[in-house]
Amino acid sequence: MRRRVVVTGLGAVTPLGNDVATTWRAMKSGVSGASGITKFDASSFPVRFACEVKGFDPLTAMDRKEAKRADLYTQYAVVASVEAMRDAGFADGGFDVDRTGVIVGSGIGGLKSFEEQHDIYRERGVSKISPFFIPMFIADIAAGVVSMRFNARGPNYATVSACSTSAHAIGDAFRTIQYGDADIMISGGAEATVTPMAIGGFANMTALSRRNDSPETASRPFDATRDGFVMGEGAGIVVLEELEHALKRGARIYGEVVGYKATGDAYHLTGQLPEHEGLQRAMRGAMADGGLAAADVDYVNAHGTSTPLNDSNEAKAIASVLGEAARQVSVSSTKSMTGHMLGAAGSVEFIACTLAIRDQIVPPTINHTTPDPECCGLDFTPNTARERTVRAALSNSAGFGGHNVSLAVKRYQG
């Protein structure tokens, strides 16, 4: 018998707010996090806007020296992890450190530090490269820093799978607890890629929307007029816990993780198989893992990037997997509000699924004004959140390189 796994803590730093409560209120209200870029001078760039984190202060969870030696993506991860552990009731410890692990990933890692230190090297020479440069930029260091923060000595590593990174992290944490290797896992992802190289690189591969005159309406998943995604940043962290361990301490339970499936396309650097066949296999696998029939699924938080190819392919995948039941399912892409948070996207979207189950409300897909006939006529929850029964939800993620993940979470029932 595999052990049951529940969600007992949530933490987030997003373009909509620097905690879960603020982010969730904004999501339910259909607020866009997009605006002109302030983190660098983007006036000469073809794309001059992004979904930036605003008003962030790492000193709410880190001391000044620790923050100075950490890239922004690690700062985001630590702040979100502290919130999640406090939310789970572990602010003052009270857990077995040897049975507590950390899986926190990043799609790119400390890109801001990489760019800054490369400039220093070019301008001032090798002797001026920071001795902290390597631990600042490597993609696993957030997991290490979070583990040190809580003295968590169980399984500890990072996942790196582009936009599926934090979905893989949560899925792996789920398995780790299921199979008895830990009782508590701190899991998710973080990204800080509103930088010149990231914006320039994604813009030059024509992945980003170019609606510079209207940033708030630029991310428009499943809309016929979509023209690319909007860069986002931040972190999403969840605390997963073995059910009996949670019940024994009287923990609040947000929901139960019941299914996880990861697949590969083995097809293209950045594209997907027709009709997102790899994501179809992931969705079917997650549902089978969780014992869910199509009629049990009430909400799908789509990968929904606002790119022409992904959205039509994903809509066809959802329609194929859920069949007739797809007409009764609410689908939405919260990337319409947060932008695409890359390695943090999957965990923030999983948090949205968990809160949709708690509150029985589906967040909207904003900027959805022109239905795309290629998107199968699904209900994309256009522009306004909807109150409805949400018993079980799927959270879909897909990444460059052909990495697909689907996570299944449902209402906890004893």
Active-site residues, by number, are: 163, 303, 340
CA distances from 197 to 42, 293, 394, 399 (A): 11, 44, 33, 19
Residue among 66, 99, 98 nearest 82 (CA): 66
Q: How far apart are CA 301 and CA 408, in angstroms?
A: 10
Distance CA 32, CA 43 (A): 22
Q: How far, in Å, CA of 346 to CA of 343, rounded? A: 7
192-211 burial by CB neighbour count: b if 16+ within 10 A, else e?
bbbbbebbbebbeeebbbeb
Give whole-number Cα distances, 311 to 56, 317, 331, 376, in Å. 31, 10, 12, 11
Question: Which of 87, 69, 134 minimizes the C-alpha distance to 236?
Answer: 87
240 - beta bridge partners?
A: 7, 185
Q: Residue 273 is encoded by which pair of tokens?
A: 């198989």
Quick check: 189 and 136 in contact, CB under 8 A?
no
The CA-CA-CA angle for residues 193, 154, 110, to 5°, reads 15
Q: Please report the sign of the dihedral spanned by the C-alpha atoms of residue 81, residue 86, residue 88, residue 94.
A: positive
- Phi, psi torsion values for 135, nearest 5 degrees: -65, -15
Q: Which amino acid is at 97?
A: V
Q: Where are the alpha helices (DSSP H) in 152-205?
A: 165-178, 196-204
Measure the CA–CA gap between 188 and 393, rounded to whole angstroms: 18
